[in-house]
Amino acid sequence: MNSTAGSHGHHISRQYNADLEEVKKHMLEMGGKVEKQLADALDALIRADSGKASGVISEDDVIDSMEMKIDEECNLIIARRQPAASDLRLVLAIIKAIRDLERIADESSKIAKAAIKVSEQGELPNGLIEFRTLGQQVQRALNTALDAFVRHDAEAALSVVQDDQDVDNEYAIAMRAMITYMMEEPSSISHVLNVLWALRAMERIGDHAKNICEHVVYMVVGTDIRHEKLENIADRLSG
């Protein structure tokens, strides 16, 4: 290869790496927005703050636009660069992760809509605070998922997948508490139904955070863990 060709190849390689870093940065920016949207939605529900809830809903179009832009960037990289091995896994993981992020944003909007209905009925009664723990769990799962993506940390990602059962258990506990409250306070039924919708949205957010972590493990080690025993994956990562 002559010097001109070598210089051209180096330029292409440098631009390719820049493209990968740029699309990864955009995905993480989207993740940050979704994290804030979730936090604001939960706070709006706790405080029965319709103004903050409306702000969450208005951000939904922004998240949708980010997803479409990043998806287009990823498809262009595949078409122009034909990435292989770990680079291809990175691009595919980003495509899958942004879909889960968009769905988390949708679920956050559902929580915000519940918050608006709650605000019209008055503040949440003291008996309806059980969902706080679930909210904290799904926020932590999403934060860990995004952090694991940044650091290519398969073990941290796997920990979220393993902890998903705790989210499901907390969801079941909160649902039972809400049903018991409705039985004891029949006048609260319409109030509590809004919280039940929010609880269901939180449980789904936990599932999407788990999905992102599965994408991280695939990105790092090239293994699809959806149909494998978690203990086998854990042994492989620690080994």
Which pair of structure tokens corresponds to residue 124? 């949440």
Chain segment 138-164, per-residue pLDDT in tens: 999 999 999 999 999 999 999 999 999
Give me the sign of the Cα torsion angle 121, 123, 126, 131: positive
pLDDT tier, 191 (very low <50, low <70, confident <90, very high otherwise): confident
Q: Which of 35-44, 183-192, 209-218 has the lowest mean pLDDT?
A: 183-192
* Residue 5 confidence (pLDDT) above 50: no
The pLDDT of residue 1 is above 80: no
pLDDT at 91: 97
User: CA 34 to CA 40: how far, in whole Å?
Assistant: 10
Return the pLDDT at 127.
Answer: 47
Alpha-carbon distance 124 to 47, whole Å?
8
CATH code for the domain in which residue 130 is found: 1.20.58.220
Whole-model pTM: value is 0.89
**pLDDT band at residue 4 using 50, 70 and 90 as cut-offs:** very low
Structure confidence at residue 8 as a pLDDT band (50, 70, 90)? very low
Q: Which two tokens stand for residue 83?
A: 């990435």
Q: Is pLDDT of 6 > 90?
A: no
Number of domains comprising the chain: 1
Give the pLDDT confidence score for residue 2 in this predicted structure.
53
d(C-alpha 26, C-alpha 32), whole Å: 10
Q: What angle do CA 173, 178, 182 make, to 5 degrees?
A: 150
pLDDT in tens, 40-63: 999 999 888 999 999 999 999 999
Query: For residues 106 and 60, is the Cβ–Cβ distance under 8 A?
Result: yes
**Structural domain that includes position 196:** 3-238
